[in-house]
Amino acid sequence: MADSLIRWIDGQAPTEIGGTTWGMPFPRGTVPGVESLTVTDAAGTRVPSQAWPLATWPDSSLKWAGIALPATEAPSDSYQVTSDGDTTTAASQPASDGASVRVTERADALVVDTGVLEMMINRSGSTLFSSLARDGREVARDARLVSLLQDGVAEGEGTVGRQAFTGEVTAVALEQSGPVRAVVRLEGAHRPDAPDNGKREWLPFVVRFYFYANARSVRMVHSFIWDGDAEQDFLAGLGVRFTVPLEADLHDRHIRIAGADGGFLTEAVRGLTGLRRDPGAEVREAQIAGRPTPPADAWNPEVSGRLHLIPTWGDYTLSQLNADGFELRKRTAAGHGWVGISGGTRSAGFCSLSDTRGGLGVGIKDFWQSHPGQLDIRGAATGEATVTAWLYSPEAQPMDLRFYHDGLGQDTFEEQLEGLEITYEDYEPGFGNPTGIARTHELTMFAYEATPSTESLAADAASASTPALLQATPEYLHSVGVFGDWAPVDRSTPARARLEDRLDFLFDFYAGQVEQRRWYGFWNYGDVMHTYDFDRHVWRYDVGGYAWDNSELSPDLWLWYSYLRSGRADIFRFAEAMTRHTGEVDVYHLGPWKGLGSRHNVQHWGCSAKQLRISTPAYRRFYYYLTADERTGDLLTELVDSDQNFLGLDPVRKVRPDAATYRPNRGALGVGLGTDWGSLAATWLTDWERTCNPRSRDRLLGTMADIGALKYGFLTGEALYDLDKGRFDTGREQISVSHLSAVFGLVEICSELVDLVDDPEFERAWLQYCRLFLATKEEQVEAVDQPLEGIYLTQAHSRLTAYAASRLQDRDLAARAWVSFAEGGEHLNHESAFTLRKIEPPYVLLPVDEAPTVSTNDTAQFGLAVIQNLALVGDHLD
């Protein structure tokens, strides 16, 4: 096996990890299974690990594995994964000190013990866990999901009502049981707290807890699906609440709340500093450090005798209502006024409540980026305080998901197509419905044996906000041959370096735009805008289909391939955020459009084009395989039967040439051979690799054979699909080419399929399409007796020519690919496109960088064309 160096994505080892997981590929035919895998550190010493299969090659050898390492205070600078070929070797080894994750399954609960902390998870009921203990002492109990439902939005005079709901767990499953890593999955929905509110439930959720051997923390991934009525249901709060028992004296109870840039609020419930009388330096120093204060009889008696006259501050709140500012305040107790503490910019989203016997810390990943968020501590002066990590702040305006306009009279397809001509919005009554979209958050809970040092808490806050991650090097990933046509960054010639510079420019530009344009927020973080308005110096956030991009023309792929070849942490996290967003928010997870995504729009769910080209696993599988993320695995599983959607909703119903006669028929469904089949192929391939599902295998291989049997192959454009048989009718003889067919993952998936599956006729059909798309009219006529219409996006399609050149070893085609690349992108083939200009107030709200000819469509396809052309015909660049 090739050198399989695994390194920390941020360049150096963290000082401590609470356990970590990553995904690892292996060359075809080399590793029989996870049983043969071992992990060694930089010194060559074998380390405890746990491995499980994520995917297999067609020959049943291991293709991808998830690998986990336990918590440690001394992580190695790098690791090596090797296969010794001995399948009797245990793939899962407990930690070197003998500790391991132990799971005890009882009739009513699961008890998970990492060796440091123990959590009890009831199999049903209103708690996510009933108890969390550190070294036998309970530090938190009765964790529960909470939500607030508001019945309207206050606009002018009038009142609105709020109802409180609590998550009710209905199913618990042990997905992994150690010895290094255990995963517990909980499902349920929110039910009303008040018994007279009826039996309504809403917001179905999935929660996973991740446990690692020796860990003092637990990772939590929470996903929910919006299933309310946008016209009358307004989410006014969504959070996770923990009860924290406290026993120590009030002056030995400590509040710690993270601000911005590593800053912390460090206070006690009853403060002993700043008083008129001094309790003594030792007392003050102990309280500030979070250590037990000396016995009261050792204090200045002028203080110890007046403790009852010092106010106790039981309630604290940090609210982050936007990306630029948070507010901190406190009060003594409910019914009394709040006192402002301070404010700042971007909180890390972490707080802890503890006393001298232990406590709880909670951190939320992407806290300020996913605003509005909030952290509450209540009742810290009592024996049972609460900590609430609000994923949607109850102090923000309630979530308003109503459609943004009244339809503008677009009641017919003809009127809607006219609207498409002016605002690029594909409107249809009733389709701007958010019911079924989802959102995922990640939290980390820390169990403390006493109040930690502020430095230690700051490290915990940082690890919860930006978890340390191991990844294989680009060179190793490339050597394995995964994800098709790409190669590591190569600046060996001036021409290559120039293209690499342009790739870097475009990524850096978009990263800067996220910040300057504030592309943040609960439903928005992770996405980018579609097209720029250079007159207003803004992206077209309010113009129909030009606003949020929703994966149009594959920016997801551009980012993931950019990461694969560079290994850059900033690109990984950009791609990660986009995957979380586009896979959750832009896709329906229940209802009539389950498994479909929404085309670009002012609102992520606003467009009436609900299609597989947005929900395709082609965009999600990178993150799943690179991180072994179970939630992304759920999203992939949801799509396994997505071919059923063609029976309910025709994706081209408004523009179908045979609309007068076509009706969805399960024996003859119109399925496009571009965006439609490319999405289905990605679905079936991913499922076949992950689960060996014969249905997915047979539908993939069968439709590949059918495309090869069509007279004009991919040029046919659309074939009739038998839903029950999973096969195409191969009798259709037509030529219909679209410039969109290949730019939603078809290029990348077909490249993988040609390498994976021995099907000469399918390969011939794909090479024909690649060779002819940008061929001369004369060449097209010679090949298929007619010129091809609908040939646009020349630069994007230059990589099809490059693929044919590489596969056929045709130097003339290789030269043509680069000529087409240079001639075809009028917006990105001039130096001014790669030159920023600064626009200053008062012409804009804030100073911004502008590249007026850059759009996300062009950027994504330019990036993919550069990456794939360099990999396929880079030697012909000069």
Per-position DSSP letters for 131-159, written without gaps between them: EEEETTEEEEEEEEEEEEEESS---SS--
- Angle CA 870–876–878, to nearest 5: 100
Give how far Cα 585 sits from Cα of 439, 440, 553, 848, Å. Answer: 6, 9, 17, 27
DSSP 8-state assignment for residue 306: T
Mean pLDDT score, 378-403: 98
Give how far Cα 135 sits from Cα of 97, 128, 571, Å. Answer: 17, 21, 40
Mean pLDDT score, 492-510: 98
- Its pTM stands at 0.97
Q: What percent of the chain has pLDDT over 90?
A: 94
Average pLDDT in the chain: 96
DSSP 8-state assignment for residue 309: G
Residue 403 · residue 606 · CB < 8 Å: yes
Residue 745 · residue 679 · CB < 8 Å: yes
Q: Report how far residue 577's alpha carbon sits from residue 575's, in angstroms, rounded to the nearest whole number.
A: 5
How many C-beta atoms surround the C-beta of residue 490 within 10 A? 14
pLDDT at 830: 84
Q: Report how far residue 793's alpha carbon sits from residue 800's, in angstroms, rounded to the nearest whole number.
A: 12
Residue 248 · residue 357 · CB < 8 Å: yes
Q: Report how far residue 127's alpha carbon sits from residue 144's, in angstroms, rounded to the nearest whole number.
A: 5
Structure tokens at 500: 């690499």
Backbone phi and psi for residue 598, each to the nearest 5 degrees, phi listed first: -105, 135
Pairing mode, strands 532-533 and 384-392: unpaired
pLDDT digits (tens, 9 = 90+) for 575-617: 999 999 999 999 999 999 999 999 999 999 999 999 999 999 9
Q: Which residues pair with 177 in a beta bridge?
A: 182
Which residues are within 8 A (CB) of 845 and not within 5 positions of it... i.e. 6 or more apart?
none
Residue 719 · residue 736 · CB < 8 Å: no
**SS3 assignment, position 750:** helix
Q: Which residue blocks in 809-849 are alpha helix, DSSP H? A: 811-824
Task: Report CA dihedral (191, 193, 194, 199) to the nearest 10 degrees.
Answer: 10
Mean pLDDT score, 686-709: 98
Q: Which residue blocks in 424-543 are alpha helix, DSSP H? A: 454-465, 474-480, 494-516
pLDDT digits (tens, 9 = 90+) for 722-760: 999 999 999 999 999 999 999 999 999 999 999 999 999
Structure tokens at 723: 């839903």
**Closest by Cα among 102, 16, 76 to 467:** 16
Residue 613 · residue 741 · CB < 8 Å: no
Residue with tokens 């329906």: 588
Residue 4 · residue 51 · CB < 8 Å: no
> Is residue 192's pLDDT more than 90?
yes
pLDDT digits (tens, 9 = 90+) for 807-861: 999 999 999 999 999 998 878 988 889 999 999 999 999 999 999 899 999 999 9
Q: Which residue blocks in 757-836 are alpha helix, DSSP H? A: 760-772, 777-784, 794-808, 811-824
Report the interhelical angle of 694-709 vs 675-691 (nearest 10°): 140
pLDDT digits (tens, 9 = 90+) for 769-782: 999 999 999 999 99
Structure tokens at 93: 């080894």
Q: Report how far residue 129's alpha carbon sits from residue 145's, in angstroms, rounded to the nearest whole number.
A: 11
| Amino acid, single-letter form, for residue 392 | Y
pLDDT digits (tens, 9 = 90+) for 51-77: 999 999 999 999 999 999 999 999 999
Question: Model confidence at 88, in pLDDT bands (50, 70, 90)?
Answer: very low
DSSP 8-state assignment for residue 723: T
The residue with greater pLDDT, 154 or 378, is 378
**Closest by Cα among 560, 552, 561, 502 to 527:** 552
Residue with tokens 């929905």: 189
Q: Would you report the helix, strand and coil content of the chain in percent, each value rounded to 5?
A: 30, 25, 45
Q: Report how far residue 841's alpha carbon sits from residue 607's, in angstroms, rounded to the nearest whole number.
A: 33
Q: Report how far residue 837's alpha carbon sits from residue 168's, in angstroms, rounded to the nearest whole number.
A: 53
**SS3 assignment, position 291:** coil
Report the interhelical angle of 494-516 vs 856-873 (nearest 10°): 150
Q: Report how far residue 316's alpha carbon sits from residue 77's, in angstroms, rounded to the nearest whole number.
A: 39
pLDDT at 197: 62
Mean pLDDT score, 302-316: 97
pLDDT at 87: 37
Burial of residue 107, with CB atoms counted within 10 A of its CB: 0-12 exposed, 13-18 middle, 19 or more buried? exposed
**SS3 assignment, position 838:** strand
The residue with greater pLDDT, 91 or 8, is 8
> Is residue 94's pLDDT more than 90?
no
Mean pLDDT score, 252-267: 98
Q: Report how far residue 272's alpha carbon sits from residue 251's, in angstroms, rounded to the nearest whole number.
A: 7
Q: Report how far residue 202's alpha carbon sits from residue 399's, in angstroms, rounded to the nearest whole number.
A: 15
Q: Report how far residue 869's alpha carbon sits from residue 803's, in angstroms, rounded to the nearest whole number.
A: 8
- Angle CA 507–498–852, to nearest 5: 50
Residue 173's H or E segment, with its range, is strand 162-177
> Is residue 85's pLDDT more than 60?
no
Question: Model confidence at 89, in pLDDT bands (50, 70, 90)?
Answer: very low
pLDDT at 832: 86
> Is residue 532's pLDDT more than 80?
yes
**SS3 assignment, position 787:** coil
Burial of residue 830, with CB atoms counted within 10 A of its CB: 0-12 exposed, 13-18 middle, 19 or more buried? exposed
> Is residue 503's pLDDT more than 80?
yes
pLDDT digits (tens, 9 = 90+) for 417-428: 999 999 999 999
Question: Model confidence at 196, in pLDDT bands (50, 70, 90)?
Answer: low
Q: Which residues pair with 359 in a beta bridge?
A: 354, 448
